[in-house]
Chains A and B, each alone.
Chain A
Amino acid sequence: MASATNGGESYNFKVVLLGEGCVGKTSLVLRYVEDKFNSKHISTIQASFLNKKINLDGNRVNLAIWDTAGQEKFHALGPIYYRSSNGAVLVYDITDEDSFQKVKSWVKELRKMLGVDISLVIVGNKSDLEKDRHVTLEEAKEYAEKVKALHFQTSAKLNEGVEDMFLALTQKMLDDAKKKKAQENLLIGQNSQRTVTVVDDEAETTKRGCCGSN
């Protein structure tokens, strides 16, 4: 562990939970961060913030998780919560078709505002209420694949899939961050190459000048 940590790097990721009201956003975060389930928590007014530190592939990752209010009115406050997020957890309630539609509109908004820079995971919560299911797993998976998002089914109540879901998302964000870093390095390399070219150009012109004078 220690050796792995020595080799790894530390990352800070911002994750935002979005979805219709009462689909279990707060419960998912509470389960993940504090391993608690409280059926009697209050409505999230506007937003709340929780922190989670994990170790993944020897990398120290600090997750700043933003839990948001589900009510649509609060979206009027603008993209303050999902701005500069590395990842988004889009939650729907498997017993509520409307909440799945809401996820779709969130995907659209996020892709529009943040492009492909944000890793998405679509989460069907309340999998313990299988008998009341209104959103089929196939439909949700198909949609997630289409929009290049991960898909998970969770039950914050029974603690099923929550850890896996956050881990997978973190892994994706980590991969993206590393990819980005590699690209940046490549860019720097290209830049230096270009400088060399400029030098070449100059040498060339002087050579030509000599030819001309002869």
Chain B
Amino acid sequence: MYICTVIFFTDVCFIPLVYQCTNFDIIFLAKQEESAVKRIKLEYDEMKPTNREGQTFDVWDMLTSKEGTRVKCDQQKLLHAIRQGVPRGKRGEVWMFLAEQFCARVAPMDTSKFPYYNVSYDTLLKQLTSHHHAHAILIDLGRTFPNHSYFSSPLGPGQLALFNLLKAYSLLDPEVGYCQGLSFVAGVLLLHMEEHQAFFLLRHLMFRRGIRQQYLPDMAILQVKLYQLSRLLHDQLPDLYNHFDLYEVSPTLYAAPWILTVFASQFPLGFVTRVFDLIFLEGSDVVFRVALALLTYHKEKLMHCDSFEEIMNYLKEQLPNIDKTTLEKIMKQVYITDIAKQLNEYKVEYQVLQEEMTSVQPQMEALQKLEVQNRTLTEQNKSLLNQLESSLTNVQRLEKTRVLQQSQLNRLEMQNRALNVTIATLGNFMNSLVEQKLDIEIPDDVRRILSQISLTERRQSEVKLQQNNLMKMFQRSDNNSDKIMVKSLSTGKIDLPERKEFRANSLNSQTIMEPTLKTQQDKSPTSSTERISKFFSTSHNTILQQRHNSIFNNAKIDITVHEVDNLKNSEKSNSLPLPGKIEPKLDSNKISPTESVDSGLSTPSSPRSTEPHPLSNCDVTFTYNGTRELKNIKNIKNMTRNASQDISTK
């Protein structure tokens, strides 16, 4: 649809009416029309300096007519003339003259990068521009000087001329194509001259006066310019700079239209054309000088705005509101400021900063990534912390239950042990009774009870062994003292199943060391009671054998056991009533008659048919304090059982 419109426009406007006419009347009419159009075009408040109208007109008449011969004019003289003011009717000519002056002064540019640079306006107009550019230009036609009568009628002569000019330029410079802002520059030119001339001057401004780069797609130069303006403010108007900085008003927010339209979009044309005058004489840096002068002029009022909104509104509404006196004051300052050097410095500065930024960029990106990671990890951490919290309370609760159960277990254990001791002591007492008084009549009931005791004891000990093994496992898992034991045991380099046995044996051997037993053993050969001595001799042999074994076992094990014992003692001694209870009962054993000391070895060793009491394999017996004594008693109990059996067999 847009492409069709393009063709239509080209057809209508490409061939200027005037050249097609042969008739004089028509030419006359056309000329009349032309002047009418010119009048319409120049419908703006000129705001030119007072009094000197005739004079300035003459100066420019003289200059422009003379310059047909391309004589170079003195720059100062031209500046002086421009300060006098350029009459709007002469402006087109003056701009053309100034552009030619510039071209004569400066070496021609290298057009090799722009193949269309020298293509004529008419040729460009015949070509089709891209849909993209045509659309962008079209939507801006009604939005460029919409209140100026030349441009106001939709698709009227002004808008058509504007379309042609911008289309031709987009073909000449495909890289820029069309950029918003350009339509205002083109519009200002069109108000003062024909399309052809306007095209020439637009190209001149863009390429030769260096405003082209600010319209390039990446807008990099626009950013440089905004930075330059910011730095200018910083150095020339520090108070205002700080004030703006406080409310975060940067040139990016207000100055882009100034630069991109050369003030044309917001400011009155009388002012804009004065800026154009100076740009054609001195170049595009004039824009900075004007911006600076504007801000300087309004500085006090801007300093009184104390919010972002107020400042922005003032810049948008009040700043462009320029009357004749204001204009003169501002232009006066513009003429005398020279900031070329600073602008160059700022530009270099910006480029250095840009380079630094790009070198820092990867690090910044990495930092951002890390920040994101950090955030997610913090969240994870938070949820884990909550989990940990709940599991900790769980552990606490379980720990409490464990401690409770453990103490219960211990209590039951102690009770059990106490009962065992009682039973054993009673058994022992019975035995000694049998020993001492052979004539004693043991009731069958008592005998039966005795055998029952030994039986249950055996069973109990078996069960206990299992229990204790389990308990040991449990204790090992969290008890340091047990760990020490395991470690020191392992230094003995004994395989695990054997180790258990050896330990038990060594314990037995220790128990044998107890004097009470010895007396019994030593007494045995001389004892008058054959039945009992027989039993004792067997048990004695067993004991000796065990003792022998224990000698072969390295001492470490014994020590270890002691350690464990001690540890356990320290833990349990407070609560264990056993030793005290047992002592007197053992003493009763001691009372039994003792004679010789030796001959244990000479006795033929009986086969190990008499197995050690099941309890001798049991670790618990030494796990707690007082168990050694207990063991003695238990061994004796074993004897008791045999004795009672003997008795029964007898």
Which A residues are closer than 8 A to B by beta carbons? 21-22, 39-49, 51, 64, 69-71, 73-74, 76-77, 80, 190, 194, 197, 201, 204, 208, 211
Contact = CB atoms under 8 A, between A and B. Distances in A.
B136 interface: yes
A22 B139 contact: yes
A172 B168 CA distance: 47
A44 B266 CA distance: 10
B316 A74 contact: no
A51 B257 CA distance: 20
B252 interface: yes
B134 to A, nearest CB: 13
Contact of A40 (B142, B252, B403): B142
A39 B139 CA distance: 12
B257 A21 contact: no
A101 B145 CA distance: 29
B217 A69 contact: no
B217 A76 contact: yes
13 contacts: A42-B143, A42-B145, A44-B180, A45-B256, A45-B257, A45-B260, A47-B253, A48-B316, A49-B313, A51-B313, A71-B180, A77-B252, A208-B399
Contacts of A48: 316
A42 B136 contact: no
A63 B309 CA distance: 11
B261 interface: yes
Nearest to B138: A22
A46 B309 contact: no
Nearest to B249: A49
Q: Name the 3 nearest CB pairs between A and B, nearest first.
A: A40-B146, A22-B139, A46-B256
B564 interface: no
B590 to A, nearest CB: 38
B144 interface: yes
Nearest to B311: A49
Residue of B143, B181, B215, B222 with most partner-chain A CB within 10 A: B143
B179 A80 contact: no
Contact of B403 (A42, A201, A211): A211
Given A43-B180, A48-B316, A76 B219 contact: yes
A64 B309 contact: yes
Interface in B72-117: none
B140 interface: yes
A106 B309 CA distance: 26
A39 B309 CA distance: 25
Contacts of B260: 45-46
Nearest to A208: B399
B147 A73 contact: no
A46 B382 CA distance: 45
Nearest to B140: A43
Interface string B282-316: 00000000000000000000000000110011001
Contacts of A204: 392, 396
B265 interface: yes
A65 to B, nearest CB: 11
A49 B312 contact: yes
B611 interface: no
B566 interface: no
Contacts of A49: 253, 309, 312-313, 316
Nearest to B257: A45
B223 interface: yes
Contact of B146 (A42, A71, A73, A80): A42
Nearest to A191: B382
Nearest to B310: A51
Contacts of B265: 42-43, 45
Nearest to A197: B389
Contacts of A80: 252
Given A44-B180, A74-B219, A80-B252, 12 more contacts: A21-B139, A42-B145, A43-B139, A45-B261, A49-B309, A51-B309, A73-B217, A73-B219, A190-B382, A197-B385, A204-B392, A208-B399
B420 interface: no
B520 interface: no
Contact of B183 (A43, A47, A77, A208): A43
Nearest to B226: A77
A39 B142 CA distance: 9
Contact of B144 (A42, A74, A77): A42
Contacts of B219: 73-74, 76-77
Which of A39, A41, A45, A77 has most chain B Cβ within 10 Å?
A45
A71 B261 CA distance: 15
A70 B135 CA distance: 12
Contact of B136 (A21, A46, A201): A21
A74 B403 CA distance: 74
B404 to A, nearest CB: 12
A170 to B, nearest CB: 17
Contacts of A197: 385, 389
Contacts of A77: 219, 222-223, 252, 256
Interface in B510-553: none
A45 B222 CA distance: 13
Contacts of A44: 180
A21 B140 CA distance: 9
Nearest to B143: A43
Given A51-B309, A73-B219, A43 B144 contact: yes
Contacts of B316: 48-49
Contact of A41 (B143, B222, B403): B143
Contacts of A73: 179-180, 215, 217, 219
Contacts of B356: none
A204 B183 CA distance: 77
Contacts of B152: 40
A42 B180 CA distance: 11
Contacts of B495: none
A130 B341 CA distance: 57
A45 B181 contact: yes
A40 B147 contact: yes
Contacts of A211: 403
A129 B92 CA distance: 41
Contacts of A47: 253, 256
Nearest to A64: B309
A22 B142 CA distance: 10
B284 to A, nearest CB: 17
Contacts of B399: 208
A204 B389 CA distance: 12
Contacts of A43: 139-140, 143-144, 180, 183, 265
B218 interface: yes
Nearest to B396: A204
Given A40-B142, A51-B309, A69-B180, A201 B222 contact: no
Contacts of B145: 42
A43 B308 CA distance: 23
B500 to A, nearest CB: 30
B180 A45 contact: yes
Nearest to A47: B253
A42 B309 CA distance: 21
Contacts of A190: 382
A212 B373 CA distance: 41
Interface in B251-286: 252-253, 256-257, 260-261, 265
Contacts of B222: 77
Contacts of B215: 73
B184 to A, nearest CB: 8
Contacts of B139: 21-22, 43, 70
Given A51-B309, A201-B392, A211-B403, A46 B257 contact: yes
A65 B265 CA distance: 20
A51 B308 CA distance: 10
